[in-house]
Amino acid sequence: MLRDLFAKEALAQIPIILTLGDRNPHSPTYGCFDRNFWHYKIIDFPSGMAQEFVLPLALAYDTNLPNNPFYQQPALRDWVEAGILYAARSAHADGSCDDYFPFERAGGAAAFSLLACIESYRRMGLTSDRPLQFFTRRADWLAHHQESGQLANHQALIALCLEVLSRLLNTTRWDRAKVQRIETVLSWQNSEGWFQEYEGCDPGYHTLTVSCLAWLHQLAPDPQLKEALTRAVHLAAEFVHPDGSLGGEYTSRNTYNYFPYGFELVGQWLPEALSINDRFLQGLANGQAPCYADDHIIGHHTWNYLLAWRDFVPTRPPLHARESGQIWLKNAQLLIDRRHDTELYLALNKGGVFKCFRHGKLVASDTQFSVVVQQGKRSRNAVGHLVGDYAVQVSDDAIEVRGNLGWAKQTQMTPLKLMVLRLVMLTVGRFFPNLIRTLLQKMLIVGKAPAPFQFVRRLHWADGQWVVRDQLSANDWRSVQAAGLGGDQTSIYVVMSRTFQPGQLQPWHDLTTDVQQLQPGDVMHLERRL
């Protein structure tokens, strides 16, 4: 059954997760899942996010599925309990935890790991009071913590944590905070159905928000949640590509995330949600699974896949071909065009970054122009895929986007920068972690500084195919060292981005020779037929 692909993908990650964990009962870091901390000793604090890995292990222990060597293994139960206790032991006194730097007090890491610990405690039938005391402290902190940036998935996750813990402890302690979080998420849902993630719509994170809200709705049915989920599902259905993949570099956060659990829950009362998972499962069967096997993010999808397998709805509607036509999400600035066995997914707010499929296969992935420029003693990278305010024209058979390239965000850490960050966080910064987070977001994620290059991208439908005509102009080309077009280039920091996906095997289009032949004021022209 296609359903078993969820379990197969998830179980393949369990040995990796176990390798990341300290499984020595006599070790002072017993239960820690940050291998860089407890084993390699190359960082000076453990990431609180890593304790989320207890949930995939608890589900592997608790789920009687085919070819599961971890089912009902006593050692797994011990390691899960140790992981929960280490989460409590490594947390700050107020229950918060760090993720990327000391005293960060990261809301996302705290929420992901809390949900994992609560669910693992419940599913494993644990009875110790120490974890419950820790859960309460962390929930109190999350209930009042407000992070910088608009991340709808974090707000939904926090609301889910408060609901699940309230039921475990049979308390109304966090009811008001839970309602406020849900109201925030709903207020961040655009009329087009998507939830705000920093600078716009990211279909990948959208599926995580759907999972959290669907879980909430299952626990406490709410007409507002049901309405929001219905719109969210209709939106998500448009973004599953013909090959079963979803998302990518044309989205606001560049992710290939896919969290299937929410669609199984919503599918119990809205059958079309099940078709979204069925299309994705067909992609898994055809080798289109993105790789999430990164030390920091491997847990998210593993537990979500296992829950999707457990709550898989057996009766499913048949898959139908999607209707031809153009869908222009004007608020998200995303455009989808389906015609003649061709599907185009294009970001108008990212300079015309696109993916194009023909006969169900990816034929072109394009992340716009990239130019390396020498400025004094250093090189800088000007790119066309940053979120910005571009001039756009859209008609039935033609699309035009024009604007400036922007400077890529390529800030790297150095020993000196790390020392300064540590010094700041060990002194005044520990009292203002949200300010530090805001500054880092501006440096690494949001905003676009224009570069001295202008582009025009025109896509025109002719003779049964898309014709792409690009222009790139500059007053002076002499400082350009290299130029090209890539299929998977990104230039902002997003923890879940830059994962590998088979569609990224598109070759790099090197334009360096063409650019070096240009004279000041010349315009480079490029034409392709997809």
User: Tokens 């991340």 appear where?
Assistant: 151
Instruction: Give per-residue pLDDT as tens, 21-33.
Output: 999 999 999 999 9
Instruction: Give per-residue pLDDT as tens, 152-185.
Output: 999 999 999 999 999 999 999 999 999 999 999 9
pTM given for the model: 0.94
Is residue 417 a part of any domain in this protein?
Answer: no
CB-based contact 250:345 (threshold 8 Å): yes
Q: Which residues, listed in sequence order, are joined to residue 151 by a DSSP beta bridge?
A: 197
Residue 16, pLDDT above cutoff 80 = yes
What is the predicted pLDDT for the residue at 47? Answer: 96
Is residue 28 a part of any domain in this protein?
Answer: yes
Is 370 in the same domain as 228?
Answer: no
CA distances (Å), origin 210, targets 254, 313, 391, 437, 507: 18, 17, 32, 26, 34
Residue 55, pLDDT above cutoff 90 = yes
Is 186 in the same domain as 159?
Answer: yes
CB-based contact 238:337 (threshold 8 Å): no
Residue 492, pLDDT above cutoff 70 = yes
Q: 3-class DSSP state for residue 334?
A: strand
Is residue 63 a part of any domain in this protein?
Answer: yes
| Mean pLDDT computed over 276-285 | 96
Q: Of residues 429 and 526, which shows the higher confidence score?
A: 526
Among 248, 283, 310, the domain boundary falls at 310
Separation CA 192–CA 8 (nearest Å): 34
Is 231 in the same domain as 368?
Answer: no
Domain range for residue 505? 325-409+445-529
Instruction: Detail the DSSP E strand segments found in 239-387.
Output: 325-329, 334-339, 342-347, 353-358, 361-366, 369-375, 378-383
Separation CA 356–CA 241 (nearest Å): 9
What is the predicted pLDDT for the residue at 259? Answer: 97
Take residue 207 and report the two structure tokens written for it.
């599926």
What is the predicted pLDDT for the residue at 449? Answer: 86
Is 232 in the same domain as 333?
Answer: no
Residue 237, pLDDT above cutoff 90 = yes
Lowest mean pLDDT among 5-19, 368-382, 402-416: 402-416
Is 239 in the same domain as 364?
Answer: no
| Mean pLDDT computed over 325-344 | 96
Is 331 in the same domain as 306?
Answer: no
Number of domains in the chain: 2
Instruction: Give per-residue pLDDT as tens, 433-472.
Output: 777 777 776 666 777 789 999 999 999 999 999 999 999 9
Is residue 346 a part of any domain in this protein?
Answer: yes
Residue 211, pLDDT above cutoff 80 = yes
Is 228 in the same domain as 363?
Answer: no
Please state the separation of Cα 290 from the chain's center in Å.
12
Is residue 429 a part of any domain in this protein?
Answer: no
Residue 349, pLDDT above cutoff 80 = yes
What DSSP element (H or E) covers 404? Answer: strand 398-407
Is residue 428 a part of any domain in this protein?
Answer: no
DSSP letters, 86-153, are HHHHHS-TTS---SSSTT---HHHHHHHHHHHHHHHHHTT---HHHHHHHHHHHHHHHH---SS-BHH
Q: State percent of the chain over pLDDT 70.
A: 99
Among 247, 276, 310, the domain boundary falls at 310
Instruction: Give per-residue pLDDT as tens, 92-114.
Output: 999 999 998 888 899 999 999 99
User: Tokens 């153009």 appear where?
Assistant: 326
Is 51 in the same domain as 200?
Answer: yes
Is 59 in the same domain as 135?
Answer: yes
Is 94 in the same domain as 120?
Answer: yes
Is 195 in the same domain as 330?
Answer: no
Mean pLDDT of the chain: 93
What is the predicted pLDDT for the residue at 101? Answer: 83
Among 310, 337, 361, the domain boundary falls at 310
Is residue 437 a part of any domain in this protein?
Answer: no
Which CATH number fits the domain that encloses residue 172?
Answer: 1.50.10.10
What is the predicted pLDDT for the residue at 443? Answer: 66
| Confidence grade of residue 410 (pLDDT, cut at 50, 70, 90) | confident
Is 130 in the same domain as 15?
Answer: yes
Take residue 157 and report the two structure tokens written for it.
């996750």
What is the predicted pLDDT for the residue at 444? Answer: 66
Is residue 195 a part of any domain in this protein?
Answer: yes
